Amino acid sequence: MRATIIDGARVANAILAQTHQRASAVATTLGRKPCLATVLVGEDPASHTYVRMKSNRCRTTGLDSRTHHLPACTTTSEAVALVRALSGDTGVDGILVQHPMPAHIDERTVFEAIDPGKDVDGVTHASFAAMALGSNGFQSCTPAGIMALLDAYDVDPAGLRAVVVGRSLILGKPVGMLLLARDATVTYCHSRTVDLSQVVAEADIVVAGVGKPALIKGDWIKPGAVVIDAGYNRGNIGDVQYAEAAERARLITPVPGGVGPTTIAMLLRQTITAAEQASS
């Protein structure tokens, strides 16, 4: 068996095309383009690259993009003050606080300063609660993108065993909640998991997101499983041993080109949703 490669760019482009149409309609209603504001603190190269990509996508999809770049010496209270100001700005529809932030900043406190109605990256406690409880709210963008990939390739999680490797608040925990809401049987794995290889070997769907290159070995993968690699490490290496896993999986995401494009697409889609809700 040789896995079919999941084309994240194709799925993202379809989402962005729909988003562009919605952006045009909202702009007519609002009298301005929908606006996504980004708060970027410090000089992390990967963060700057992501923000640049996001700004470019906004421009080509009919959104305005504002980037607020603060120096690395910014304090938590200064970052919170900016986020609160953006939350109260009627010209801003969505807010993205780029992470990771410098170590001296209390990232969680900054996240919680985002108005839940503008939390289009799905990072606040309110957004996580909405995901977990199945109520209205914005989903974490990478998990939402993962679900879009599964849908695009006709993977119905209902009744399947899904193993999520990683338990971060912006990836592992929320993607497990979304899979559970679609009737998968979900197991979370982490640094204290015993016999990780055996747990992964039982999975119909594997979602890896721990930031450890090639942690998931190819021979751990159950034949015919769906492998979603949300890890990204130096050298364009994911968390899954790609070549070997592709020999056993039915579907697999590449790194890059798999999960990444849909993350930005979901961010823009949710920004349009926030603008629509604000204008209604």
Catalytically annotated residues:
54, 98, 121
Work out the number of other CB atoms within 10 angstroms of the CB of residue 34.
29
For 45, phi then psi, to 5°, come to: -60, -40
Taking the C-alpha atoms of residue 193 and residue 203, their distance in angstroms, rounded to an integer, is 15
Judged by DSSP in three states, 199 sits in: helix
Taking the C-alpha atoms of residue 42 and residue 47, their distance in angstroms, rounded to an integer, is 9
* Alpha helices, H only, the chain: 8-30, 45-61, 76-87, 107-111, 125-133, 141-152, 172-181, 196-201, 242-246, 259-279
Task: Report the candidate in 258, 158, 159, 243 with the shortest Cα–Cα distance to residue 207.
Answer: 258
Note whether 51 and 101 are within 8 A (CB): no
For 130, phi then psi, to 5°, come to: -65, -40
